[in-house]
Amino acid sequence: FFASIEANYGENPYHNAQHAADVSVAVHLFLSEHDLMETRFADPVACLAVLIAGVVHDFAHPGTTNQHEVKIDSKRHKAFGDAGILEKFHVRAAFALMRRPELNILAPLDHAGYARARKAIVKAVLATDLGRHMTYVERLNEMAMLEGARSHGTRVNSGQETWTSPFLDPEKCGRDLVAAVALKFADLGHACKKRVLHEEWTARITNEFWALGERERSLDVAISPLCDRSTDIDVAKSQVGFFSFICMPFYTVV
């Protein structure tokens, strides 16, 4: 299964098998660091589902964006509608691969277990759609304001007050939302890496965007933002925007 996923991920500079491996490791790290593997994801089906979601979340990526797919009214746009086009495509492509008996990693599960795993994988992958990003940020902020208050002013020996987190409480935050947060945390994760690694991944996504811009130029359609090789060259400025509007609002509340 994993060898076939890797072989069919594609050769994009950014959205490739290496990114999938990076995200998968980060998902496991996120859940392990907060003891969630032993608590919220102790159920083997739930654990398997969230880890597979990390593996397949960008499977068979065409090197485009959802906005591009809508713009050219692609086959994927016609098949999946206006929202989450690529995310739906990744999930469908992965499950199509699993129709082959020798590649069906979910085969040992009974019918109910398979249905649960599939549903959880789909939900987690769809959460990586940046078109829904601010919806998640707003939801998490609302939870933090309502439930993440100081725990009765309790102080630890250092003199600092302790805080309760709604995201680790099963009564306040469902497992699907925790899985979504883990996937999103990992998918944006190069922003949290050492600078040399962040710069490498930034160069990769920039080259992928520029390649898309060339494709759009050849199709005689408007070039997408950040995709014009001749004008979108201030990478530092684009990263400031990426950090300010995408990364920091999410990572701060998480």
Is residue 17 a known part of a binding site? yes
What pLDDT score does 147 carry?
Answer: 58
CA distance linking residue 57 with residue 222, whole number of Å = 28
18 is in an annotated binding site: yes
Q: What is the per-residue pLDDT across 91-111, written as a single tens digit (0 to 9) for each?
A: 999 999 999 999 999 999 999
| 8 labelled binding-site residue | no
pLDDT per residue as tens digits for the range 28-66: 999 998 888 888 899 999 999 999 999 999 999 999 999
**Residue 19 is labelled as binding a ligand:** yes
The structure's pTM equals 0.91
pLDDT in tens, 130-180: 999 999 999 998 888 765 544 433 333 444 545 556 666 777 788 999 999
User: What percent of the chain stands above pLDDT 70?
Assistant: 91
Assess whether pLDDT exceeds 50 at residue 183.
yes
Ligand-binding site membership of 129 (annotated): no
User: Which residue from 92, 12, 110, 102 is spatially nearest to 56, judged by alpha carbons?
Assistant: 92
Instruction: Pick the catalytic residue from 15, 61, 90, 190.
Output: 15
How high is the pLDDT of residue 205? Answer: 98
Task: List domains and CATH numbers for the chain.
Answer: 2-253 (1.10.1300.10)
Structure tokens at 220: 């005689």
Residue 15 annotated among the catalytic residues of the structure: yes
